[in-house]
Chain A
Amino acid sequence: MMLPNAVPVSWYLILSAILFSMGVAGFLIRRNIITVFMCIELMLNAVNLSFVAFSYELKKIDGQLFTFFVMVVAAAEAAVGLAIILTVFRHRMSLEIDDVSSLKN
């Protein structure tokens, strides 16, 4: 089943790159933990997009498999991450990422 005006794979990749860069930028710039967290999800999904695109292009199942793995991990990560965020908020009454710096020492 070939689409007549098939979108070239490069478009998907460009979109994926844009989404990923947005994720990175948000991750670095934003101070709210929830936002940062969403940026991480954005990056993951950007990668998923490129996986799927490649899978379609190369007619191989591997890419889609990877996507499922990433989605599972992302779901687990969301569960754990949100739990941590919740606990941090309870302790510090703040979601500012600069307030959470006890990693040092």
Chain B
Amino acid sequence: MTESQSLWLIPILPLIGAALNGLLGRRLPKMAVSAIAILSVLGSFLWVMKCLSALGNLDTPHAEHYFTWIQSGALEIGVDFMVDRLTRIMLLIVTGVGLLIHIYAVGYMDHEEGFSRFFSYLNLFMFFMLTLVLAKNFLLVFVGWEGVGLASYLLIGFYLKEKFAGDAGKKAFIVNRIGDFGFSLAMFLIVITFGSLDFTKVFEAAAKMPVEAHAGILTAIALLLFVGACGKSAQMPLYVWLPDAMAGPTPVSALIHAATMVTAGVYIVARASVIFDRAPIALDVVSYIGLLTAVVAATIGVTQYDIKKVFAYSTVSQLGFMFMACGAKAYSSGIFHVATHAFFKAVLFLGAGSVIHALHGEQDMRNMGGLRSKIPQTFATLCFAWLAISGVPGFSGALSKDEILIAVHGKSEWMFWVGVVTAGITAFYVSRAMFMTFFGEYRGKAHPHESPLSMTGPLWVLALLSAAGGYLMRDLVHSIGPETASHGDHGSLEFIIVAAGLLGIGLAAFMYLMNRGLSQSVAKALGPVYRLVYDKYRVDEFYDAALVRPIQAGSESVLWKGLDVLLIDGVVNGVGRTASAIGGILRRCQGGHVPSYATWIVLGAALVLIGFQLVGGGR
């Protein structure tokens, strides 16, 4: 047991920032608000650095217990934090990227209403996200898990007057709740099976259990956890909220919906790898879902025109890759991709934000073009990310993607090929976005201007990380856990993967640089298929028709107005009406005339007397 590092400071600092900005922010000048926001995250970044350097290479996890949170019977759940090698990566990503995005946001949000509210929410998000990765038991993870969902909900709906923003926020929260439903059921099973939610106890006990050839309790736990992961990490069939979530401000899309929160699902699968390892059926499901999501989202990405939507679908698709890695038991490769993806996707979104900022809110790529010379710094940084996500050798994206696909190759050959094609499609649509935005001639009306230093500065840092970050973090990541198959000679496989990426770029260049009209004619030739993909396979419409409407209509007409009002109240009122009907007959006897009452009395007395005579009671 190493000495206490006061890990609690890491999440608490942003919480203090959130509280200050939330309670006092409206009265503070913008300078003070941004200082509070940035300093709180900087503080927690520095504290992470300090703790990590003090903890050394973390051969054994470092744990800290603060207080008992819930105690009932034999179940005790503490507020416990821990740092191991997996947490280390996540801490670095979350605080590092988080800090850069906070700095960026100061410039981006400068003109927006609700400046302090924004930073209060953003700091709140940092608090929950750090709680999530530091937690030492499932329930505390769940606190962060729901909490980041809340922050995401608040930030997506940040533009209060926009109806679609509110709708998108609500959708995100509810779809996430469906995932949380799985997560909480998994927790119940874990408690029943292991009697605890503590990572150490659960994983130690699970490690002693055999691999389940047929579905058993571990498979059930793993699958339910994965339902949670699907919600948070936007996998099929729960991915629908993420594209809509782009209604939020762009720094939010970069921080929450690309770099950090959406990777929480990958994190929890990697965290529970002991359980997943013993549930091969669950691993297969993870692989299939990951692959399916990667393919579906990539194809949708090809057809979209909103620059943020393209990148959103790209995020969904990349998350699919991460789960494919987990499904192939290459958890560290999955986490590696989490790290590299955090860098290049942050650049893509922040760059897109810079473009949107330059064009005063324009998001449709058909109204862009030729911006290369007008906003050169944004363009240059985006190029790094573009090459990284396309898998060009020398950039960090290539490293992690190669690892994943090689690991998948070890699991199943056909999945490898589908993955390679998807990687090619990825390169194609990101290139398409780049060409439509920065090449050709400008098609819009606004006057583009380069973004301020507070925005380009973080962009440059992240751009350099998209190139070199992979090399910096490779060893750190691989220290996490079981050696993957990436070592050894995979030259031919790597060649195929790189070729697919370059082919994608080339095809995009051919279609969008050299033959402008070609894309239109291809779209026309594909006709209904293109429409279907363009409409995102009409999944939202399907959910609407299959779930949302039936539930609403059923609740309203069957349950409320049918069962409640007609049946139950009908019965109750029926009893009442019967009673009052009987009463209505009886009240005729009560005419209010004294003589008639007297008559009744006399008649009654006579009846009593006669009755006595009949039963012989008179004597």
Q: Do A and B actually bind? A: yes
Check if A103 sits within 8 Å of B592, measured CB to CB: yes
Tell me, in angstroms, the Cα distance from A103 to B591 when the chains sit together: 8
List, in ascending order, chain A residues with CB within 8 A of B590's CB: 103-104
B496 within 8 A of A: no
Check if A98 sits within 8 Å of B602, measured CB to CB: no
Check if A103 sits within 8 Å of B594, measured CB to CB: yes
Check if A97 sits within 8 Å of B594, measured CB to CB: yes
List, in ascending order, chain B residues with CB within 8 A of A97's CB: 593-595
List, in ascending order, chain A residues with CB within 8 A of B587's CB: 104
Check if A104 sits within 8 Å of B591, measured CB to CB: yes
- Fill in one digit per residue for B575-610: 1 if any A CB lies within 8 Å of its CB, else 0: 000000000000100111111011100100000000
Q: Which of B592, B599, B602 contacts A101 (CB 8 A)?
A: B592
CB within 8 Å of B: which A46-74 residues:
none
Check if B595 sits within 8 Å of A102, measured CB to CB: no
A79 within 8 A of B: no
Interface of B, secondary structure class, is helix
CB distance from B493 to the nearest CB of A (A): 96
List, in ascending order, chain B residues with CB within 8 A of A28's CB: 595, 598-599, 602
Check if B592 sits within 8 Å of A102, measured CB to CB: yes
Query: Which residue of chain B has the shortest Cβ distance to A30 in the bound complex?
Result: B595
CB within 8 Å of A: which B321-336 residues:
none
- Fill in one digit per residue for A71-105: 1 if any B CB lies within 8 Å of its CB, else 0: 00000000000000000000000000110111111
List, in ascending order, chain A residues with CB within 8 A of B599's CB: 28
Residue of B587, B591, B592, B597 with most partner-chain A CB within 10 A: B592
- Fill in one digit per residue for B221-248: 1 if any A CB lies within 8 Å of its CB, else 0: 0000000000000000000000000000
Check if A27 sits within 8 Å of B592, measured CB to CB: no
A22 within 8 A of B: no
CB within 8 Å of B: which A11-41 residues:
24, 27-28, 31, 36
Q: Which of B592, B593, B597, B602 contacts A24 (CB 8 A)?
A: B602
List, in ascending order, chain A residues with CB within 8 A of B598's CB: 27-28
Query: Which residue of chain A has the shortest Cβ distance to B594 in the bound complex?
Result: A97
CB distance from A92 to the nearest CB of B (A): 14
List, in ascending order, chain A residues with CB within 8 A of B597's CB: 103
List, in ascending order, chain A residues with CB within 8 A of B602's CB: 24, 28
Count, chain A residues at interface, CB 8 A: 13
CB distance from A37 to the nearest CB of B (A): 11
Once A24-B602, A28-B602 are accepted as A-B contacts, the answer to whether A104 and B592 lie under 8 Å apart by CB is yes
List, in ascending order, chain B residues with CB within 8 A of A103's CB: 590, 592, 594, 597
CB distance from B389 to the nearest CB of A (A): 85
Once A24-B602, A28-B602 are accepted as A-B contacts, the answer to whether A101 and B591 lie under 8 Å apart by CB is yes
CB distance from A104 to the nearest CB of B (A): 3
List, in ascending order, chain B residues with CB within 8 A of A36's CB: 594-595
List, in ascending order, chain A residues with CB within 8 A of B591's CB: 101, 104
CB distance from B245 to the nearest CB of A (A): 66
Tell me, in angstroms, the Cα distance from A103 to B587 when the chains sit together: 12
CB distance from B167 to the nearest CB of A (A): 57
CB distance from A84 to the nearest CB of B (A): 11
Tell me, in angstroms, the Cα distance from A103 to B590 when the chains sit together: 8
Query: Which residue of chain A has the shortest Cβ distance to B590 in the bound complex?
Result: A104
CB distance from B599 to the nearest CB of A (A): 6
CB distance from B299 to the nearest CB of A (A): 78
CB distance from B598 to the nearest CB of A (A): 6
List, in ascending order, chain B residues with CB within 8 A of A98's CB: 593, 595
Check if B595 sits within 8 Å of A101, measured CB to CB: no
CB distance from A38 to the nearest CB of B (A): 14
List, in ascending order, chain A residues with CB within 8 A of B595's CB: 27-28, 31, 36, 97-98
List, in ascending order, chain B residues with CB within 8 A of A105's CB: 592
Query: Which residue of chain B has the shortest Cβ distance to A103 in the bound complex?
Result: B592
List, in ascending order, chain B residues with CB within 8 A of A101's CB: 591-593
Query: Which residue of chain A has the shortest Cβ distance to B597 in the bound complex?
Result: A103
Residue of B590, B591, B593, B599 with most partner-chain A CB within 10 A: B593
List, in ascending order, chain B residues with CB within 8 A of A24's CB: 602
CB distance from B5 to the nearest CB of A (A): 83
Tell me, in angstroms, the Cα distance from A27 to B598 when the chains sit together: 8
User: Top 9 nearest A-B pairs by Cβ distance?
Assistant: A104-B592, A101-B592, A103-B592, A101-B593, A104-B590, A27-B598, A97-B594, A104-B591, A28-B599
Beyond A36-B594, A98-B595, 19 additional pairs, beta carbon < 8 A: A24-B602, A27-B595, A28-B598, A28-B599, A28-B602, A31-B595, A36-B595, A97-B594, A97-B595, A98-B593, A101-B591, A101-B592, A101-B593, A102-B592, A103-B592, A103-B594, A104-B587, A104-B590, A105-B592
Q: List 12 A-B contacts (CB under 8 A).
A: A24-B602, A28-B595, A28-B598, A28-B599, A97-B593, A97-B594, A97-B595, A101-B591, A101-B593, A103-B592, A104-B590, A104-B591
Binding site for A on B (CB under 8 A): 587, 590-595, 597-599, 602
Binding site for B on A (CB under 8 A): 24, 27-28, 31, 36, 97-98, 100-105
